[in-house]
């Protein structure tokens, strides 16, 4: 059983996260399995802190958050625009697909990387929750880097991404073989990569290719990473990255 399926582990995670949740304010949620697993356990906290509102990187997560009773500002609504136009978001809670020792990340396996990066940039504090297999010695260890790309001219963009990386970039498809379309209406490329020695330079090169909307490298964005384990919660921070709440 994964820690994400263990109610005791999820309750412990919420107990740690409560220390960072303000009594009122704007909370950003990423997309994906980790955030979805935490939502039912966040609901009692929001029931007490009634002046908290959430904005999510994906329509799916927004629906699930609303279903469990969280107050949601919808991404395409006027209230949400007011949230994003006001002061910075107070806190971001998200998952990650790879975390290196410097707390740099690869994200995008869930497909919401562009919106997740916008929310990360807008948040005063960014907390990522992962399971132990997501910790890697160097980014690229799991062999996959997602990109969001424009649908218009995506074949051309794909060729130039492959040339820049000297590797294969595959259009992400669903179970029926159709291209996966993001909430932004764009496509996803999954690039086969090895260990990345210079992630900032790689990000710069990929962003320079016309048609690349965003790169799944999240560099210098994580403030804390919570590692969920069956025997406790490990807290990694940019300053001190080896504490345990067991």
State the Cα–Cα distance between residues 142 and 27, nearest whole angstrom.
30
Q: Are strands 187-192 and 169-171 parallel, antiparallel or unpaired?
A: antiparallel
Distance CA 172, CA 13 (A): 32
One of 98, 116, 214, 224 is an active-site residue; which one?
A: 116
Distance (Å) of CA 108 to CA 58, 135, 190, 217: 12, 16, 9, 9
Q: How far apart are CA 220 and CA 105, in angstroms?
A: 8
Q: Is 116 a catalytic residue?
A: yes
Distance CA 111, CA 180 (A): 9
Strands (DSSP E) contained in 62-116 are 91-95, 98-99, 105-106
Size of the chain, expressed as the number of residues it contains: 246
**Which residues carry out catalysis?**
116
């Amino acid at each position: 059983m994964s820690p994400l399926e263990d109610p005791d582990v999820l309750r412990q995670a919420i107990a740690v996260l409560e220390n960072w949740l303000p009594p009122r304010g704007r909370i950003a949620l990423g997309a994906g399995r980790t955030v979805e697993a935490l939502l039912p356990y966040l609901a009692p906290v929001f029931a007490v802190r009634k002046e908290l509102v959430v904005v999510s990187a994906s329509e799916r997560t927004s629906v699930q958050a609303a279903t469990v009773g969280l107050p949601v500002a919808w991404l395409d609504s006027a209230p949400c625009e007011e949230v994003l136009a006001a002061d910075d978001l107070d806190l971001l809670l998200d998952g990650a697909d790879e975390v290196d020792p410097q707390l740099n990340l690869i994200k995008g396996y869930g497909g919401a990387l562009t919106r997740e990066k916008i929310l990360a940039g807008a948040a005063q504090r960014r907390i990522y929750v992962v399971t132990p297999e997501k910790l890697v010695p160097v980014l690229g260890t799991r062999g996959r880097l997602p990109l969001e790309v424009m649908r218009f001219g995506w074949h051309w963009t794909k060729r130039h991404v492959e040339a820049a990386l000297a590797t294969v970039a595959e259009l992400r498809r669903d179970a029926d073989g159709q291209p996966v379309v993001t909430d932004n209406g764009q496509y996803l490329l999954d690039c086969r990569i090895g260990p990345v020695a210079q992630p900032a330079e790689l990000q710069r090169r990929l962003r320079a290719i016309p048609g690349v909307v965003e790169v799944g490298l999240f560099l210098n964005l994580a403030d804390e990473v919570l590692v969920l384990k069956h025997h406790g919660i490990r807290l990694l921070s940019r300053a001190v990255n080896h504490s345990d709440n067991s």
